[in-house]
Amino acid sequence: MKIKELSKRGKTERRKRTEKRAKKDKKREKDKKEEKRIKKSKREQKGGEKDKKEDKRIKRKNMKK
């Protein structure tokens, strides 16, 4: 193989890897959002003060980050 062909092959392989990684990241993000939505709906069904306190604690924790 020529040097140009080798470098071209490396570029395409790198691109495929990054596309694959991006796809996985997107799926992970989607799953995370879905999980959050499910938790929120369960919390709304329960209701109560305990959940409100938990939300405040999480908000404070996120603000520190």
* pTM for the structure as a whole: 0.49
| Helices and strands (DSSP H and E) totals, the chain | 2, 0
Note the pLDDT of residue 65. 64
**Backbone phi, then psi, for 47, in 5-degree steps?**
70, 180
Alpha carbons 7 and 5: distance in angstroms, whole number? 6
Alpha carbons 14 and 1: distance in angstroms, whole number? 19
pLDDT surpasses 90 at 8: no
Note the pLDDT of residue 32. 94
CA pseudo-torsion sign 51, 25, 34, 37: positive
Note the pLDDT of residue 49. 62
* Residues 16-47: tens digit of each pLDDT: 999 999 999 999 999 999 999 998 888 777 76
